[in-house]
């Protein structure tokens, strides 16, 4: 009774909806909430709705404040709809890569006469309109956000953790990782669950559209061998109760893009009908490209859209229906195996417009294998030669249990690790696997974007993460360390991207933005294993239209008189006016019918590097900016592209270092540890309190290949299998390469546990002895 006296009126499940008029210049916010009077007397209420937006320095601007008087009978629950709130040219919410994720804080409070504030509710809300339809050109489902078509490049999400250890901090890392990869959609797979509100909050913050499935999957609901229960789940009424509750929980998130009945299966007929009816669109959201000039233009017969259960998002009955896969429910997603890198660019690779699942390999780094498995699991697969010339991989039983996916498919794809030479041990295997991971996922996404709008409208990778320590289909492992595939994806999915079509060898530029790019050029350079540049060409005076793929010219080096059997290709798209880089893409390639075995002796190269670091700290948070220079050759002073000054993107930066302070350099002992971490000859420069310079000596010229930063605790001695890594770490780039004279700035951010000093190390393919401490 005491709680009832304090809180006589309860706010229940408010619903916020925005409607746009005059091509997004005039916007109305509709809000409906339920109010429950738990007292035995009539509650005279003052109901307030307030909308604010945050300005610089945590200062909030009041956009709207409206107060209404409401009387609620005793023990009654009523539904109340506020008068609509008008906004002129509000800041819009955009998906990742399309613009900023502008969010407004909407709060509702209820004051009861004689009792003061009884209840309050708050929600971050984004003004945006999401539409989708089946595209006539491709047959795939095409999404639009605020009237702009968006090419979907996303991933399948299983669930955060197999033991349901759901934390806000983990959600934040997971979602930011997806944004760091330049993805714009996450599919919450029907074999998982609806995550906690924090998951969707961070999708709002980082701009990840959410494809939300209900809990139906063909694995257990009517498909498989033997056939499972086609009428599952067992309790249909309970299912619908949970479904309606989930809709109310999630519907106010701007990131939520669509509802889907289930994975590779349609729900039982009664559930499917109920979901269709409950999630039917409000008439205002049914039209695709028609604009009404005023709110009065809506028929008075229409209910306020916020009075619907949802009313703003499309419901699709299953993941392979209505514009996904073949659109009719046939098993036409996939494939889920290693591919030849050139295959995704070919006409016959995948013939439907939107693939909800395409998967591949995902072995993590060796440290993760050692940290998650007993020593029996450290044995690499056996490479079994077959009569047809292919290799079959035979993994150990522990890897089989963890769903290891081989890097070969006998009869179709030669072993992609073996192209670099038969691996010697776990470290060698996992390093070569990272080379393949990078190529594999970059090629998958570049192949899709090469056919943007002409053949495809979107693709979702199976899968981006693991809720356990799996060994397939992942961009980062369960311990939150990224594979090289993470950075191959990040490269391929950038909003404006220069790439090589691996089937035709034509250079292409993909512009997924709404802006034309003019007065730009492409620099294409080939580098051999001796550090020479046998091919250099600039394609200038380019204009790149919005939402288009432009084929520039053939890269003809492989057709030259004596091409090297293994070579590197560096592509840079840059602004002619100031040499700022829009897109940079680095390939290692071999001639047709060849392999990468010449890269094995290339590991003995000693490429001189200069690493300048600047460190910032705020509490336990560290930000490190590493500038890495390949000193093996002086750059041509006629061009400034070697500096890799990247152009600023219009949307929010991934790495904000403005609130952090430099760490003073207080170390007096700069002596290098011996043993695992080899002695590094270096000199520290006190250019400022936080600047440090590390020199890696070397007399060879050439490409500093496949450089990889990692962060560790500063414990010098480790037992075998002990994991010294500090995780998670956010990198602006990693697994990167530098041609002679080129420099690159890498930003690294992480948090350290109490009492731990971080140590940043650098690995590289060219360093025979492995690891160098650079900070």
Active site residues: 264, 357
The dihedrals phi and psi of 263, each to the nearest 5 degrees, come to -90, 120
Give the β-pairing of 9-21 and 152-157: unpaired
Residues 6+ apart with CB under 8 A from 601: none
Query: Residue 689: helix, strand or coil by DSSP?
Result: coil
Taking only Cα atoms into account, the Rg of the chain, rounded to an integer number of angstroms, comes to: 28
- 728 vs 368: CA distance, rounded Å: 13
| DSSP 8-class letter at 29 | E
Sort strands 548-554 and 506-511 into parallel, antiparallel or unpaired: antiparallel
Helix, strand, coil percentages, rounded to 5, for the chain: 15, 35, 50
Compute the distance between CA of residue 708 and CA of residue 734 in angstroms, rounded to an integer: 6
**Is 135:152 a contact under the CB 8 Å cutoff?**
no
Q: What would the two tokens of residue 685 be? A: 């420069």
The span from the CA of 175 to the CA of 171, in Å, is 6
SS (H, E, C) 131-182: EEEECCCCCCEEEEECCEEECEEEEEECCCCCCCCCCHHHHHHHHHHHHHCC
List, as own/partner pairs, every contact residues 579-582 make where C-beta atoms lie below 8 angstroms and the sequence separation is at least 24, other chains included: 579/639, 579/640, 579/641, 579/643, 579/645, 580/645, 580/646, 580/647, 581/641, 581/644, 581/645, 581/646, 581/647, 582/496, 582/498, 582/517, 582/520, 582/646, 582/647
Task: Say what the alpha-carbon torsion angle 323, 325, 329, 335 is, to the nearest 10 degrees.
Answer: -170
Residue 61, both tokens = 């601007």
Residues sharing a CB contact under 8 Å with residue 24, sequence separation 6 or more, in sequence order: 92, 129, 146, 147
Instruction: Give me the residues paired with residue 539 across strands.
Output: 522
């Amino acid at each position: 009774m005491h709680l009832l006296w304090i809180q006589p009126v309860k706010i229940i499940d408010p619903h916020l909806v925005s409607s746009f008029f005059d091509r997004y210049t005039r916007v109305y916010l509709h809000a409906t909430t339920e109010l429950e009077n738990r007292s035995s007397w009539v509650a005279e209420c003052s109901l307030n709705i307030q909308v604010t937006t945050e300005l610089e320095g945590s200062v909030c601007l009041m956009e709207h404040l409206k107060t209404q008087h409401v009387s609620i009978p005793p023990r009654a629950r009523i539904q109340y709809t506020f008068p609509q709130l008008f906004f002129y040219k509000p800041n819009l919410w955009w998906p990742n890569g399309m613009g900023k994720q502008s969010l407004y804080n909407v709060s509702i409070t209820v004051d009861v006469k004689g009792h003061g504030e009884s209840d309050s509710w708050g929600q971050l809300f984004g003004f945006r309109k999401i539409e989708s339809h089946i595209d006539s050109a491709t047959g795939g489902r095409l999404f639009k956000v605020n009237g702009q078509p968006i090419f979907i490049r996303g991933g399948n999400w299983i669930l955060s953790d197999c033991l349901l250890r759901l934390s806000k901090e983990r959600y934040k890392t997971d979602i930011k990782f997806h944004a760091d990869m330049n993805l714009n959609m996450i599919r919450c797979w029907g074999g998982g669950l609806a995550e906690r509100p924090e998951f969707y909050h961070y999708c709002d913050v980082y701009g990840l559209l959410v494809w939300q499935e209900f809990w139906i999957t063909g694995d257990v609901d009517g498909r498989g061998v033997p056939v499972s229960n086609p009428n599952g789940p067992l309790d249909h009424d309970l299912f619908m109760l949970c479904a309606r509750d989930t809709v109310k929980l999630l519907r106010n998130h701007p990131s939520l893009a669509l509802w889907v009945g289930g994975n590779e299966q349609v729900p039982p007929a009664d559930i499917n009908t109920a979901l269709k009816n409950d999630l039917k669109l409000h008439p205002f959201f049914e039209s695709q490209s028609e604009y009404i000039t005023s709110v009065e233009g809506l028929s008075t017969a229409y209910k306020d859209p916020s009075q619907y259960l949802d009313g703003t998002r499309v419901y699709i009955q299953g993941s392979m229906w209505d514009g996904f896969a073949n659109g009719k429910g046939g098993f036409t997603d996939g494939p889920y195996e290693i591919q030849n890198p050139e295959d995704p660019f070919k006409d016959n690779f995948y013939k439907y417009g939107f693939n909800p699942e395409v998967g591949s390999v995902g072995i993590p780094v060796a440290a993760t294998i050692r940290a998650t498995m007993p020593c029996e699991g450290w044995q690499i697969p056996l490479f079994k030669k077959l009569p047809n010339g292919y290799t079959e991989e035979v993994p150990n039983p522990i890897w089989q249990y963890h769903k290891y996916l081989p890097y070969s498919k006998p009869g179709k794809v030669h072993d992609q690790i073996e192209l670099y030479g038969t691996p010697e041990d776990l470290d060698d295997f996992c390093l070569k696997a990272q080379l393949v991971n990078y190529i594999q996922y970059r090629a998958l996404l570049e192949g899709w974007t090469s056919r943007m709008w002409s053949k495809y409208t979107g693709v979702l990778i199976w899968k981006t993460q693991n809720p356990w320590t799996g060994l397939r289909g992942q961009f980062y492992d369960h311990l939150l360390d990224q594979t090289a595939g993470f950075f191959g994806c990040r490269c391929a999915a950038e909003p404006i991207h220069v790439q090589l079509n691996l089937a035709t060898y034509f250079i292409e530029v993909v512009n997924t933005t709404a802006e034309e790019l003019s007065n730009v050029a492409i620099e294409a350079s080939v580098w051999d294993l001796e550090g020479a540049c046998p091919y250099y060409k600039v394609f200038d005076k380019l204009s790149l239209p919005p939402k288009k793929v432009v084929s520039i010219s053939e890269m003809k080096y492989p057709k030259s008189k004596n091409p090297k059997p293994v070579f590197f290709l560096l592509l840079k798209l840059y602004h002619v006016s100031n040499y700022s880089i829009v897109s940079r893409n680095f390939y290692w390639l071999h001639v047709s019918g060849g392999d990468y075995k010449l890269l094995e002796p290339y590991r003995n190269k000693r490429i001189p590097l200069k690493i300048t670091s600047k460190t910032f700290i705020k509490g336990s948070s560290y930000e490190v900016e590493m500038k890495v220079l390949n000193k093996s050759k002086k750059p041509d002073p006629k061009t400034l592209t070697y500096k890799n000054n990247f152009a600023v993107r219009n949307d929010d930066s991934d790495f904000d270092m403005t609130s952090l302070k430099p760490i003073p350099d207080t170390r007096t002992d700069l002596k290098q540890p011996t043993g695992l971490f080899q002695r590094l000859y270096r000199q520290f420069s006190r250019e400022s309190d936080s600047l440090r310079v590390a020199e890696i000596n070397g007399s060879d010229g050439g490409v500093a290949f496949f450089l990889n930063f990692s962060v560790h605790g500063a414990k010098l001695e480790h037992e075998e299998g002990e994991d010294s890594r500090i995780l998670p770490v956010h990198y602006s780039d990693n697994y990167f390469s530098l041609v002679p004279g080129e420099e690159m700035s890498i930003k690294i951010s992480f948090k350290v546990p109490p009492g731990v000093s971080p140590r940043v190390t650098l690995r590289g393919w060219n360093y025979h002895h492995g690891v160098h401490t650079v900070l």
